[in-house]
Amino acid sequence: MSGAWAIAEQTARESYGRLLAWLSARTGDVAAAEDALADAFRAALEHWPEKGAPKSPEAWIITTARRKLIDHARKQKTRSDAHSAVLLAAEEAESEANSESQFPDERLKLMLICAHPAIEPSVRTPLILQTVLGLDAARIASAFLISPKAMSARLVRAKRKIKEANIPFTAPSLDVLPERLSAVLDAIYAAFGTGWNDFDGAEDSAGGLTLEAIFLAKLLTTLSPDEAEAWGLLSLMLHAEARRNARRDDGAYVSLKDQDTRAWDKTLIAKAEEALAKAWRLDKPGRFQIEAAIQSAHAASRLQDRDVTEDVILLYQRLIELAPTLGAQTGFAAALSNGGRDEDALTLLDGINDHAVSSYQPYWAVRAHILGTLNRNEEARGAYERAIGLASDISVRAFLHHKKKAL
Amino acid sequence: MKVMLLANEAPQDFALRDNKEKFDGYMGEWYAFGDSLTKEGIFLDGAALEPPASATVVSVRDGKRKVEDGPFPDAKEQLGGFFIIEAPNIDAAAQWAAKCPAAKKGFVDVRPVMEIEGEE
């Protein structure tokens, strides 16, 4: 009994994304495929405990879901084309599913569809999390700080768009593929958190779905192994994840230079380095690879006691050429300050022309530090107050308070 | 699938229609676009519309008919014409939309035509 349940659960956990991608690719309708898959799993939980789990659980689920899709198509009165298309696809599905338990992995196509330019950018990440990983709307909503109802509505709208606009489940042409893959990478990085910061007193990754994001990046490197930026993103996130435990001591914020490196996960660091090496070998530099290289330099500075100040400055320079984001410019300023070039750092910060600055917490934390170093204490206090006001993490606030007092 | 391309033209493009010297060049681009759709065998229908100032807006509220001059501001993109084409998917339709003369200064709305069973 419990064995059948366990098998159903395992099939769902390991194969959900592949099953959904495969069904969606054959119908062009993600929502209908989701419903059919859910019905099939429900049926499995009814039948398997009684009759025992089938030899190939995936094939059983696919066949059952296919029948559900046919039922669904028959009830659909408005779309004659879709009707016959689904029937045809379903027939094909049956023969493929029966002949072998292995079926082609369409998850890359599914991810590319979720990050299609016709899909609103802010819903791409939630869509990937739901379709590829099977996360429910409530879980995704909590990570993105919006209500489950609103998240649910946005996901439904996006899936409707896929079907009605007829977004194709075919591999995009080579000229648009890089752009589309880059949208997928952005969506995965957004799942990781609000961005990873290596400078003191800067908040990061609050409430992110870090393990899910790492899983997706790993998946992408498997499905598209020649994509250097996928390896770069994986490396960046692994470096960040490796230091997670060392970033807090009894709940208190610990800056990078004071972290206990014994608490760093060396296995993850090794994997991060391996991923970065793979990326470099492909000889297609990009922002995620540079960001990973910055984290790699930081790791080396502590583990091998190397002075990486100038390396980090050069890497940030390169990063800004590739992607002049607010985070990159703030990081560059922090790196310059670290190299004793506080005047240059302040000029850089003053020159940022982006209204997002006013609510960007890391900017104010870095600005406060630089002003403090330049002995402009009054202004530094103001900047610290602003950074504290914008910080939502209590330990980051305490850290900044402490620095403000020490001025 | 049938897709409607709604060509929203920029004010400066609409202005070309009244420009004696540039009118032929302006229309030429549209004819060329229409011809390319026909040549591809995907042209189903299409028409150019008189400029927004010619619009009359009709509505019925509480059974009462209201007829007004179209309140279309001159400073914005406005519908200037449309095409209905046959396309396999949104990517193909978007490729054609990008070739539409309105896309350069205005924009093109790409809308799938609703399919209703029993209709051809």
pLDDT of A367-386, one tens digit each? 999 999 999 999 999 999 99
Using CB atoms, pick whichever of A81, A170, A172 lies closest to residue B115: A81
- In the DSSP assignment, the letter for residue A148 is H
Average pLDDT rounded to a whole number, residues A317-331: 93
pLDDT per residue as tens digits for the range B52-99: 888 899 999 999 999 888 777 777 899 999 999 999 999 999 999 999
Split at pLDDT 50, 70, 90, the class of A399 is: very high
Q: What percent of chain A has pLDDT over 90?
A: 59
Q: How far apart are CA A112 and CA A86, in angstroms?
A: 22
Residue type, A91: E
Which residues in chain B have Cβ-Cβ distances shorter than 8 Å to A74? none
Residue B26 lies in a domain: yes
| Residue in the structure block whose two tokens are 């399919």 | B115
- Angle subtended at Cα A260 by Cα A257 and Cα A264, rounded to the nearest 5 degrees: 105
Residue B117 lies in a domain: no
Give the count of alpha carbons within 13 A of A136, CB side only. Answer: 5
pLDDT per residue as tens digits for the range B32-48: 999 999 999 999 999 99
Give the pLDDT score at A207: 55
Residue B120 lies in a domain: no
Is residue B90 less than 8 Å (CB to CB) from chain A? yes
Q: How far apart are CA A19 and CA A158, in angstroms?
A: 20
A166–B115 C-beta distance less than 8 A: no
- Domain A324-407 bears CATH identifier 3.40.630.30: no
Domain of B24 in residue numbering reads as: 2-112
User: What ipTM was assigned to the predicted interfaces of this complex?
Assistant: 0.76
pLDDT per residue as tens digits for the range A135-182: 888 888 887 878 999 999 999 999 999 998 999 988 888 888 888 899
Using CB atoms, pick whichever of A78, A116, A170 lies closest to residue B115: A78
Average pLDDT of chain A is 88
Mutate which of B91, B96, B108 to test chain A, going by most A C-beta atoms within 10 A? Answer: B91
Helix (H, G, I), strand (E, B) or coil at A232: helix
The enclosing domain of B107 has a CATH number of: 3.30.70.1060
CATH topology of domain A106-171: Arc Repressor Mutant, subunit A (1.10.10)
Total number of domains constituting chain B: 1
Q: How far apart are CA A124 and CA A102, in angstroms?
A: 28
Which residues in chain B have Cβ-Cβ distances shorter than 8 Å to A109? none
**Could you report how far apart the first and last alpha carbons of chain B are, in Å?**
12
Is residue A122 less than 8 Å (CB to CB) from chain B? no
Q: How far is A172 from chain B (nearest CA, A)?
A: 9
Give the pLDDT score at A196: 57
Residues 6 or more apart in contact with residue A155 via CB below 8 angstroms: A123, A126, A127, A130, A137, A140
Q: Determine contact, residues A191/A125, Cβ cutoff 8 Å.
A: yes
> Which pTM was predicted?
0.84
Segment holding B17, helix H or strand E: none
Q: How far is A44 from chain B (nearest CA, A)?
A: 34
pLDDT per residue as tens digits for the range A59-116: 899 889 988 888 877 776 555 455 555 665 666 666 655 555 567 889 999 999 999 9
- In the DSSP assignment, the letter for residue B114 is P
Using CB atoms, pick whichever of A79, A81, A166 lies closest to residue B89: A166
B110–A167 C-beta distance less than 8 A: no
